[in-house]
Structure 1
Amino acid sequence: MTSYFDGHSTPISQDGLTPATPSVTSRGVNALSSRITSVLSASYADRDIRDALETLDVRDVRNTAETRRRIRLDVQKEVIQCNGEIVKDFGEVAQQLKRIGSAIDSLNKYCADMRGHIAAANRETGPVLEEATGLMAQKQQVETKRHILDAFNSHFLISETEATILTSTAEPVNELFFQTLTRVKRIHHDCEVLLGTEDQTLGLEVLEQSSKQLNAAFQKLYRWVQREFKTLDLENPQISASVRRSLRVLAERPALFQSCLDFFAEARESILLDSFYVALSGTATDEQNMSTKPIEFHAHDPLRYVGDMLAWAHSATVSEREALEVLFISDGDEIKRSIQAGLESEPWLRSEEDQEPFDGRKALNQLVSRDLIGVARLLRQRTEQVIQSHEDASLAYKIANLIGFYKKTFSKLLGGESEILDLFNTLEESAMRQFRANMRDHVAAVQSEFAVAPADFSPPDFLEEALQMLRALAKSYDTSIAATDDDESGFNKVLAEALDPFLNGCENLYKGLPPPGSDIFAINCLLAAKAVLSQYSFTADRVSEMDDTISEHSARLVEYQHEYFTHTSGLKSLLEALSDISDAPESIASIASLEAFQPEALIETSQHLDEFLPSALMDAAENIKQLRSRKMVTEITEDAAGRFCSDFEYVESRILAADELLKEAEQGEEAPMALRDMFPRTSGEIRVLLS
């Protein structure tokens, strides 16, 4: 391919050696150098060069001399052609812009005309529009007032129909009544909003009207509840549900609520009293009770008669409480909250007694107690008649225990503050007074038997009879609930009346008897009483006192038996002789010179002892054989024999010590006969013989 520089080479001189002139040659060299420098310094990574090369490549230009001469002209020609086309296009655009300008001028003219017409129309319609705007504002205000009035009427006023439902006694107390009452209460409460405005007249009027409606509604409800109470069937859950709801609402008026409770208590008192009369005497028209005998059928058995009456009262109390619990307590604390709300709305009803919050359980217990007042009054009359018409002390005490049992039961059922408990306290005290009076009469009747003790020192008949009665009294007390609540003090009062006077009589007899008969008699009486009391835990203290007293008498019997052993065996003379002997050698050495330790006397004492020992235990036991306890006879005799053996050991030790001293003093001389030889018995032999 022909090089680009081939056509642009520097011409050579005709002679082929040097350029024609030096200056021309120099400029050519400089231009060539600049061109070469320019080509070499060009960066082919430049975007313009790349675009130029791409254009050349598209045109498929070949690097020839002709092409190199024409390419500049062709390019300029194309540029001129393009510029001409652009100018032609802009001419068309200019023509379009002229037409648009003409259209805009026309529109501006039309708009100016329209603005003129509009301004004229505004001048003519301005007053009308202002008047219409004012009317529209007034209409909006009227509509707002109408909505407010409708809202006020719907919220703060009730219809005539609703007022009739709420206050007319001809209308029933149903769900619609309670809904209307709830709405009126809400109106009454919301009157606070009206009273907070500047003009309070409307609020006061609505408050007064709602107050009158509420008072009339509560009066209607109060009378309806009273009518329901007259024929209330506590077994009917549906009636109980409606009455329960009415009571919950009526509790918002504490005075009316309390009046209803009073009326209800009177009605239930009458009903329960009639039922109690029927249970006592029976009725031929009551088919349900034909199979059950009336309580008075068992009037010949006083204890059962009183027990049946108390059992009926307890059963009636349980039934009454369960029924009233459903009526007053099943809704939880709603009645309590209603009463609290009523006291807050009517603070003038609050008294000092109302400072404590309402207790539903306590109020229920009080209401049940009031329902049973008539039954309690009749029960008291009948029970007091039974108590006063019998002179049996044990019967009076059994009735007292029975009453005490039911008193504890009613206390758990109705609480410790129930009025019914006063009845039981009165009856229990009456029975105990009768018991004490009967016991004192009995003691006075047997006073003549307190003069002479039995010959065999056995418990006297009056004590046996008293213990027989005491056994029945203790059994009655043990089966009553009082034995678990007041173990010691409760029965100690009985012992003071039923046992102590007879033991005191025995004590008087004991003081008139010589020993050992007095102690035997005392122990026999105490053992008989202990045998009765030891069967029960609530007499543990008294049994312990008796054990101490028996131990004192036993100690005196041991002393008596010991005296018998020492006196009968002959050992007493030796003990009396040794009473003044001390542990000093000189004192012990003087024993041989004592009269009781002289050979004849000591040998006689030894023989007497040998005669006594074989039957000593049996003879001693014979002295106290009248004791009712063979174990005590043996123990007392063995204790006395043990003390006798200790005494014998003491005498033996003194004899041996005296013999030892005498033996040392008489060394080398003929020794006298030793005391031991004259009194040969040893303490080991004595213990064997008396064991």
Structure 2
Amino acid sequence: MALKIDKNQNLSLVKRVNKLLESRPENDKDTLEALKELSTFFTDNTLKNRRNLRSKIEKKSLTINDEFLSAFKEVKSTLDSIHSDVLSMNNSIQTMTSRLQSTKTQTISLIDRTTKLQNESKKLSMQHEVANAFISTFQLTKHEIEILHGQTREEPISDEFFIVVNRIQTIHSSCRILMQSGYQTLGLDVMQQMTLLQESALERLYRWAQNQCRHIENEQIAPLLMRAMCTLQDRPVLFKYIIDEYCTARRAIIVGAFIDALTLGSKIGGTPNPIEMRADDPTRYVGDMLAWLHQAIPIEKENILNLLKACDKTDVSDQVKHALSHITESLCHPLKSRIEHIIALESPATVLYSVMSLIRYYRSIFTGIIPDSVLVNDLSDLLDLSEKSFNTRLQRETRMALGERAEPPGQDLIPAASVSRLLTFLNDILSVALIVTGEDREKDIQRIVSYIVDPLLQEIDETATRLPVVDMAVYLLNCLHQIHSTLSVYEYMDQRLERLQAQSDAQIDTLTSELASSLVANLNLGPIYTILQGKEQGPMSAIPGMDPLSVKEFTNKLESLLLMPESFLLPQISLLQNSTYRSTALKRSFQVIGAIYKQLYEACHEPKNDYQNPDGLFARTPDELLEKLISQ
């Protein structure tokens, strides 16, 4: 039995040892903590210490329990103190709750009264805001009224002034909405008040703008003055008065500048030297004055447009034209008097035409800028005056060039000296006309040609009538050729050249007839031609003058004509200056001789005329003869 017990104990011990061996203390946190704590007082691993280990552990445990008990006593005393405090607080809360309940009952009526007062306060606050909004919308502030009226009449206008004026207009417009909302009386009162303020402001603005225009010196328009014109545009009378004041000021300035340009020089128009220095050159003198106006007037127009820049463009166009016409009116007297003086001088027709062209050119320009103005009307009068003076001078110089009596031509039948002088004079004037542009250019050129060429042709005809027929034809052809050559280089001369050509053709016909008659006489063709045209009975070879010997004598003279045509032709033919005219007259006269020759040739070859060996009478056929004659 004892053995069995020992055996069981051994087995139990073995199990414990195995369990201990199988356990892994490094993974057991409690074991590690216990071992760590054990290491604090179990320092030496001796037999004695191992036997006393249990008692030490028990003592250590007892010490810890004692420490815990003492700490717990402190906690308990603290908890007792807290419990007493909580009981005291609970009593206080109970007291306060009862008092609060009593107070709550008392303040219910107070809260109701406070709510009513708050609602009334909100209502009054809203009414106050509405009143302030109405005042700010429909009334001007004290500062704005001070700006509107100004401290003195001479106080300048500022940007703030226009802001206040615009605000008055806005308030005035808003009064209609106020009246439509049912506040007619209030709206009318505010509208009346704003109307009075607006009238006062516009009156002050008018005086200020008028003063600005009265003392305007430079060409730059102040922006405030532009805004003033825009603001006053709704007051036509005040608006017109200001423009008139501006025009009056600018009239004095521009006429002063024009006088300075005439006497001292000016940068405007590119005339740094005084224009009066070129008074001895009428064309340049008039051109410089008109050019100065051409430069100055657009500047004035631009200034007026700048003045009215902020205004409604549909309403200011007529104002601009009227103002520009009013300003330029001051330039009319000094300009007109000087140009009239130039026109009145005994200037050559070329100079007068240049002056007339300048006036016409600048009048067309100014008409586009300021139509129906005094300046344009004066330029029209000057243009009429210059045209009359030019026409008179042109006719006078034409008569002077022609002379009192028609000059007879020389033996060479070239145009007289008066013809050359007059054509040179015509060239001088037309060379000026070529420079001129415009719709009146054609009219001017044709008028100039008519004033010069018609008297010239009349004198040429008068001179030619005193000459023999051939000399007359040659002289007229030479003169017509020179006139035709002069006019052919100019435009608009088609009809005139056609008439000259028709006159030349008539003289060529006359010359051809005379030349053909002379050839017929020199070749003794008269009797032969008469016989060929007659109707004699019998063979033609039996008629005196048509016998073979006479025919042969005629053909021999024709050969002499082919060899020495000068001895048979009229000497005046060589005096023709135009080779075309000369060749045309010769060709036509030779064609007459060729036609008679052909008729004779055919008559001699007819058997009934009884010519023996007709081929022996003629060295050439009619075609060969005509070709040879024309090739001369």
TM category, shorter? 0.7 to 0.9
Cα distance change on mapping 1:446 and 1:486 into 2, 3 Å: closer
CA distance in 2, matches of 1:241, 1:543: 64
The residue type paired with residue 215 of structure 1 is: E
Cα deviation per residue 1:337-365 (whole Å; 9 max; x = unaligned)? 5xxxxxxxxxxxxxxxxxxx4364x6545
Pairs within 5 Å for 1:597-636: 597-616=546-565, 619-620=568-569, 622-636=571-585
The residue type paired with residue 303 of structure 1 is: T
CA distance in 1, matches of 2:490, 2:212: 54
Secondary structure in structure 2 of the residue aligned to 1:297: helix
Cα distance change on mapping 1:139 and 1:313 into 2, 3 Å: same
Q: Aligned pair 1:297/2:277, yes or no?
A: yes
Q: Aligned pair 1:458/2:414, yes or no?
A: yes
Aligned counterpart, 1:431: 386
Q: Aligned pair 1:687/2:596, yes or no?
A: no
Aligned counterpart, 1:217: 201
Any conservation in 1 of the 2:308–2:316 contact (CA below 8 Å)?
A: no
Pairs within 5 Å for 1:655-666: 655-656=604-605, 658-659=606-607
140, 145, 154: which one aligns with 1:163: 145
Aligned counterpart, 2:612: 673
Q: Aligned pair 1:567/2:516, yes or no?
A: no
The residue type paired with residue 572 of structure 2 is: N
The residue type paired with residue 682 of structure 1 is: T
Any conservation in 2 of the 1:645–1:687 contact (CA below 8 Å)?
A: no
Any conservation in 1 of the 2:402–2:456 contact (CA below 8 Å)?
A: no
Gaps of 5+ in 2: 1-104
The residue type paired with residue 628 of structure 2 is: V
Aligned counterpart, 1:265: 247
Shift of 1:620: 2.9
Secondary structure in structure 2 of the residue aligned to 1:375: helix
Cα deviation per residue 1:204-233 (whole Å; 9 max; x = unaligned)? 222222222222222322222222223335
Any conservation in 1 of the 2:488–2:497 contact (CA below 8 Å)?
A: yes
Aligned counterpart, 2:75: none
431, 438, 443: which one aligns with 1:475: 431
Any conservation in 2 of the 1:396–1:435 contact (CA below 8 Å)?
A: yes
Secondary structure in structure 1 of the residue aligned to 2:133: helix
Shift of 1:183: 0.8
Any conservation in 1 of the 2:261–2:274 contact (CA below 8 Å)?
A: yes
Q: Aligned pair 1:153/2:135, yes or no?
A: yes
CA distance in 2, matches of 1:523, 1:653: 37
Cα distance change on mapping 1:421 and 1:526 into 2, 3 Å: farther
CA distance in 2, matches of 1:366, 1:500: 47
CA distance in 1, matches of 2:592, 2:205: 94
Cα distance change on mapping 1:488 and 1:553 into 2, 3 Å: farther
Aligned counterpart, 1:552: 506
Gaps of 5+ in 1: 1-120, 338-356, 582-586, 663-670
Aligned counterpart, 2:187: 203
Shift of 1:177: 0.9
CA distance in 2, matches of 1:167, 1:576: 120
CA distance in 2, matches of 1:328, 1:573: 98
Any conservation in 1 of the 2:532–2:599 contact (CA below 8 Å)?
A: no
Any conservation in 1 of the 2:171–2:194 contact (CA below 8 Å)?
A: yes
CA distance in 2, matches of 1:648, 1:416: 76
Aligned counterpart, 1:537: 491
Cα deviation per residue 1:48-88 (whole Å; 9 max; x = unaligned)? xxxxxxxxxxxxxxxxxxxxxxxxxxxxxxxxxxxxxxxxx
Pairs within 5 Å for 1:255-404: 255-282=237-264, 292-329=272-309, 334-336=310-312, 357-358=314-315, 360=317, 363-404=319-360
CA distance in 1, matches of 2:349, 2:268: 38
The percent of aligned pairs where both chains have the same amino acid is 22
Any conservation in 1 of the 2:433–2:441 contact (CA below 8 Å)?
A: no
CA distance in 1, matches of 2:258, 2:401: 43
Any conservation in 2 of the 1:463–1:503 contact (CA below 8 Å)?
A: no
Cα distance change on mapping 1:391 and 1:588 into 2, 3 Å: farther
Cα deviation per residue 1:125-168 (whole Å; 9 max; x = unaligned)? 8xx989997x8887766555443332222112112331232243
Any conservation in 2 of the 1:488–1:539 contact (CA below 8 Å)?
A: no
183, 188, 191: which one aligns with 2:175: 191
Shift of 1:388: 0.5
CA distance in 1, matches of 2:523, 2:493: 44
Shift of 1:176: 0.5
The residue type paired with residue 532 of structure 2 is: L
The residue type paired with residue 612 of structure 2 is: M
CA distance in 1, matches of 2:441, 2:595: 45
Cα deviation per residue 1:269-290 (whole Å; 9 max; x = unaligned)? 111111111122228xx9999x
Cα deviation per residue 1:382-437 (whole Å; 9 max; x = unaligned)? 0001110225333222211222232344345x265555332322212111111122
Cα distance change on mapping 1:131 and 1:244 into 2, 3 Å: closer
Aligned counterpart, 1:577: 531
Cα distance change on mapping 1:180 and 1:531 into 2, 3 Å: same
Any conservation in 2 of the 1:569–1:609 contact (CA below 8 Å)?
A: yes
CA distance in 2, matches of 1:250, 1:199: 30
Cα deviation per residue 1:429-471 (whole Å; 9 max; x = unaligned)? 1111111222333455567644453234333333333222222
Cα distance change on mapping 1:160 and 1:384 into 2, 3 Å: same
Cα distance change on mapping 1:249 and 1:288 into 2, 3 Å: closer
Any conservation in 1 of the 2:325–2:370 contact (CA below 8 Å)?
A: no
Shift of 1:299: 1.9
Aligned counterpart, 2:453: 499
Cα distance change on mapping 1:517 and 1:160 into 2, 3 Å: farther
CA distance in 1, matches of 2:404, 2:268: 56
Aligned counterpart, 2:477: 523
Cα distance change on mapping 1:383 and 1:649 into 2, 3 Å: same
Cα distance change on mapping 1:282 and 1:543 into 2, 3 Å: same
Any conservation in 2 of the 1:234–1:323 contact (CA below 8 Å)?
A: no
Any conservation in 1 of the 2:168–2:198 contact (CA below 8 Å)?
A: yes
Cα distance change on mapping 1:650 and 1:193 into 2, 3 Å: farther
TM-score of the aligned structures, taking structure 2 as reference length:
0.72
Shift of 1:379: 0.7
Shift of 1:192: 1.8
TM-score of the aligned structures, taking structure 1 as reference length:
0.67
Cα deviation per residue 1:493-520 (whole Å; 9 max; x = unaligned)? 2223233223222233334433222222
Equivalent pairs counted in the alignment come to: 522
Any conservation in 2 of the 1:449–1:462 contact (CA below 8 Å)?
A: no
Between 393-402 and 550-559, report the one with greater CA deviation: 550-559
Aligned counterpart, 1:95: none
Secondary structure in structure 2 of the residue aligned to 1:202: helix
Cα distance change on mapping 1:481 and 1:419 into 2, 3 Å: farther
Secondary structure in structure 1 of the residue aligned to 2:415: coil
Any conservation in 2 of the 1:621–1:634 contact (CA below 8 Å)?
A: no
CA distance in 1, matches of 2:501, 2:332: 45
